[in-house]
Amino acid sequence: MATTQANNRRDTLAKRYLETRELSNTLIAPLSAEDACVQSMPDASPAKWHIAHTTWFFETFLLKSCESNYRPFHEAFEFLYNSYYNGVGAQYSRPDRGLITRPSLDDILGYRQYVDARMGDLIETLDAGDPAIDLIELGINHEQQHQELLLMDIKHLFSLNPLYPSYASGAPAISAPEPHALGWRTHSEGIGEFGSAGSSFCFDNETPVHKHYLEAFEIADRVVTNGEFLAFIDDGGYQSPLLWLSDGWSVVNEHSWLAPLYWRQVDGVWHEFSLRGLHPLDLSAPVCHVSFYEADAFARWSRARLPSEYEWERVAASRTLNGNFLDLSCLVPKPASIEGSYRQLFGDVWEWTHSAYTPYPGFKTAPGAVGEYNGKFMSNQMVLRGGCCVTPPGHTRVTYRNFFYPHNRWQFAGIRLARDLAR
């Protein structure tokens, strides 16, 4: 009986492992070896690096420790494809990842096959309580994160090419110009429990469950649209220092920001670059690729504010986890649907919160090198919630904490407004 359950869990794991690995292969299919090799900025990585590094993760944390006498695919890969795990050893310089033209993309696909074959064998042998199971689960979720990063990074790379290549063909249909009106939902004050109890998979940064007190608040029932953000631009938002955080105002001026990252004016008409190329801006679609600073300034201009991550989680807690997630037939955020008391909570765009990314009360890092997974990044970044249109389905959840620096814009980040209730 227990054996059957173990077998079932093992089979499920094997299936999810293979599906996840296969999705990565699908994602790079539209890319040439050249596309997959180049790094467009230090924050981004080559697609080839992503699919090598996710393989490295399984090789390093599973095969090297579980397989006796495991022979690495290539001795240098431990160094070359280690992202940031000092506990494993030294790392090849991050801003130089794009210089590694050899091993080739084909070599890395061979690396994937080599590791997948051995991982298949390994999963076969696992007992129900084997700690390797949790590490494989972590590796699957880790690869999903890199699938999203891979699409973010390719979008950034292609955006710098004056030919504006498309990752996928076919510009999205433009919606009717008027989005469903924005409504506000009220939440009363009180104490609640937040974070994950860890009964199903979560990252360490979502733990432990803990109490937090919330004041009453209002929150918008959909995210901000391109049309609404354009009104901010047209009202001189990028030229009004009083709307901005001081650090944000410095960044705006240093980089001469005038619009979201991928907006372009073509003959006086606003366009947006997406994974489907350059096309006219859809005013009803969510504004996307804004920094925390821009989200915060827009909210101030709107006489509102960003929600805290606790507020967001309270709102999301009772909702069904449906949304516009990674789907090769879409790949762009979509306008809000007409119905539903909350729209776009999950998927479409990550939603900036005004919560700094800090450890939850009682947070502990895992022992060993995987303890470096999340904890060491808990400074200077802000939390985003909800997932986006390039987040693999099933990857995000109510307690999921994404995080980026307040100046970052290349992730699919948008805005949901909140407000204090008069007291």
**Distance in angstroms (rounded) separating the CA atoms of residues 222 and 178:** 14
Is residue 246 a contact point for a copy of itself (CB under 8 A)?
A: yes
Closest by Cα among 391, 410, 413, 332 to 143 = 391
Among positions 293, 325, 373, 412, the unique one binding a copy of itself when judged by CB under 8 A? 293
Q: Which residues pair with 414 in a beta bridge?
A: 351
∠ CA 171-173-175 to the nearest 5 degrees?
A: 140
Instruction: List the interface residues with a copy of itself, window 300-329 (CB under 8 A).
Output: 308
Among positions 5, 11, 65, 76, the unique one binding a copy of itself when judged by CB under 8 A? 76
Alpha carbon 411 to chain centroid, angstroms: 7
**Residues in the chain, how many?**
423
Among positions 6, 14, 23, 80, the unique one binding a copy of itself when judged by CB under 8 A? 80
Instruction: List the interface residues with a copy of itself, window 132-161 (CB under 8 A).
Output: 157, 160-161
Task: Tell the smallest beta-carbon distance from residue 304 to a copy of itself (Å).
Answer: 13
Is residue 235 a contact point for a copy of itself (CB under 8 A)?
A: no
Q: Which residues pair with 420 in a beta bridge?
A: 217
Residue type, 16: R
Is residue 98 a contact point for a copy of itself (CB under 8 A)?
A: yes
Task: For 210, list phi and psi in degrees, rounded to 5.
Answer: -155, 160
**Three-class DSSP category at 226:** helix
Stretch that binds a copy of itself, among 18-26, 197-205, 240-248, 389-397 (CB under 8 A): 240-248
Is residue 260 a contact point for a copy of itself (CB under 8 A)?
A: no
Q: Toward a copy of itself, which CB reaches closer, 162 or 268?
A: 162
Task: Tell the smallest beta-carbon distance from residue 226 to a copy of itself (Å).
Answer: 25
Query: Angle at which helices 2-28 and 105-125 pack, to 10 degrees?
Result: 170
Q: Is the dihedral of CA 224, 226, 230, 231 positive or negative?
A: negative
Token pair for 143? 């690869």
Q: Toward a copy of itself, which CB reaches closer, 84 or 201?
A: 84
Residues near a copy of itself (CB under 8 A), total? 66
Question: Could you check whether the bond before residue 241 is cis, i.e. omega within 30 degrees of 0?
Answer: no
Q: Toward a copy of itself, which CB reaches closer, 174 or 245?
A: 245
Is residue 37 a contact point for a copy of itself (CB under 8 A)?
A: yes
Contact between 243 and 237 (Cβ < 8 Å): yes
Task: Tell the smallest beta-carbon distance from residue 211 to a copy of itself (Å).
Answer: 5
Residues that bind a copy of itself (CB under 8 A): 32-38, 40, 76, 79-80, 84, 86-87, 92, 96, 98-105, 157, 160-163, 165, 191, 208, 210-215, 241-242, 244-249, 292-293, 296, 308, 354-356, 358-359, 361-362, 372, 376-380, 406, 420, 423
